[in-house]
Homo-oligomer: A and B are copies of this chain.
Amino acid sequence: MIDCGEGAQLAFMRQRLSFSRLRHIFLTHLHGDHVFGLPGLVGTIALNGTGGHLTIHTFEDGARQLKSIFDYFCRDTPFEINFNIIKPEEAVILQTKSLTVRTIPLKHRIPTVGFVFEETPKPRHINPEMTRFHGVPIYMMNRIKNGEDFIRQDGKVIENSILTHPPTPSLSYAHISDTIYMPDIAEKIGPVSLLFHETTYLEEHKAMAAPRGHSTAKQAAMVARDAGASMLLTGHYSSRYHDDSLFLKEARDIFPNVILNKEGLVTNLD
């Protein structure tokens, strides 16, 4: 979960997600609208009697504040809450077998980071006809999947690309909120499958965006274009607007593949 605004536990339940599968919460920054759902969520997980552990990735002072809240209001939590202390800088903050998570510093009114989630590259797919034809033994298969060439008994080298198909693409997601427009961030994000970039304002209110630490839809689209992202997800709209389609229109003038965020949206990255 990335950020946890008030009511997040209800949204979680409406989506029929399982609390017991929630293991990591990444906090971009410590403004209330990104954090105030956390105590209630933790309390509900505690009530549901789910064991295990939950790791909250946040800055040191956020961890101190949250720990104090949990200690007082969620005393008998039957699961462990760990804090992974992060800093507003570029760093890898989590690495699992299948996933790497790194931070990118953003520019908002208080220290803020974006997160990039990248699946570990996956093994190549064996072409069974070709491995049979060239007599690749079973014990070699994992090495072939990982890209090795095969040397036949007769000494002939069979290139890996003959024995395998390309791997299933690794998916990646970048979450960039809240921030002013940072042109140089695109390079740090890279060609992700999906980029969420906040679009608090439209260009017509561009003059408000930077002083308040926010971006426009056009600026988000420029970041998506420059990063080489496959898809842009907009969101974090100012309540002054009543027609979300204006964000879509503005962004699509710059970058074609845009989807509008709204509560309950489910997007397939494949």
**Chain A residues in the interface with B (C-beta under 8 A):** 6-7, 9-10, 30-33, 35-37, 39-40, 43, 61, 65, 68-69, 72-74
Note all chain B residues with C-beta closer than 8 A to A72. Answer: 30, 61, 65
**Closest residue on chain B to residue A9 by CB atoms:** B6
Note all chain B residues with C-beta closer than 8 A to A74. Answer: 32
CB distance from A80 to the nearest CB of B (A): 18
Q: A68 to B10, alpha carbons, bound, how many Å?
A: 26
Note all chain B residues with C-beta closer than 8 A to A7. Answer: 6-7, 10
Note all chain B residues with C-beta closer than 8 A to A69. Answer: 65, 69
Q: Give how many copies assemble into the complex.
A: 2
Q: A189 to B36, alpha carbons, bound, how many Å?
A: 35
A43 touches B39 (CB 8 A): no
Note all chain B residues with C-beta closer than 8 A to A65. Answer: 68-69, 72-73
Note all chain B residues with C-beta closer than 8 A to A33. Answer: 40, 43
**Closest residue on chain B to residue A41 by CB atoms:** B6
Q: A68 to B61, alpha carbons, bound, how many Å?
A: 12
A30-B72, A65-B68 provided; 15 other pairs, C-beta below 8 A?
A6-B7, A6-B9, A30-B73, A32-B39, A32-B40, A32-B43, A32-B74, A35-B73, A36-B39, A36-B40, A36-B43, A36-B73, A61-B72, A65-B73, A68-B68
